[in-house]
Amino acid sequence: MTLSLTVSDEVRALAPGFRHLAIEAHGLVNGPSTDASSALLDEAARRLAVRLDGRAPHEDPHMAAWREVYTAFGSKPSRTRNSAEALAKRALSDAGLPRINLLVDLYNAISVAHVVPVGGEDLDRIRGGMRLVRATGDEDFVTVAGGEEAVEHPDAGEVIWRDEEGVTCRRWNWRQGPRTRLTEETVSGVFLLEGMAPMPLADMETAAAELAELLEKFSPGAQITTASR
């Protein structure tokens, strides 16, 4: 893999059961959501319903573990849900899952079907390597508020993903910044699957393999590498 991904000692001390898998892909083809990507999202919602068997998403053991970690760094998990729980809740609602663009639909489908946080970043927009750290509170998080660009700052101690330019995702995987998100112009990306014990590494590897297969299917000829961290 060409992208450096590191996890700070402070984060590992906070969540010793954390692990992540990264898929780096070059030669991607993105575009608007399609009937095929929409069907994948619908199927993911059906798989989720079978998996939960009537339980709420936060009752899944993996989501419960994420809630404990969110609480540990000072975030209220019922208000700022990890990305997988938020998507799962949306999938089970009348609104259903959003259709964003082809690549985002693919990784959202995997996130929902396997109940694991998955994110996607445009490699060409990342500055230097990416680091998972606890924030000082001085970092810049450039977002959009009311249609205008706005700069926020994470809370001190909050877990963030960041690169050399600033924060790319707040509260671990709660809110991604627009600077590095996958757009219809994206040709190179990194897809990050994040797990917390008790989710077995083998289950994460199964989810990653399924995502890699989808990327190969929808972007024939793409160069795809998977690495465990």
Helical axes 83-91 vs 61-72, angle rounded to 10°? 130
d(CA 43, CA 66): 24
pLDDT of residue 149: 86
Which are the contacts of 210, defined by CB distance < 8 A and separation ≥ 6? 110, 113, 114
Averages of pLDDT over runs of 10 residues in the chain (229 residues) are 94 97 98 98 98 97 98 94 98 96 98 98 97 97 86 96 97 96 98 98 97 98 89
DSSP string, 50-75: HHHTT--GGGSHHHHHHHHHHHHTT-
pLDDT of the residue at 63 = 98
What pLDDT is attached to residue 146?
80
CA distance 52 to 46: 10
**What is residue 229's predicted lDDT score, i.e. its pLDDT?**
64
What is the residue type of 227? A
Number of C-beta neighbours around residue 42 at 10 A: 13
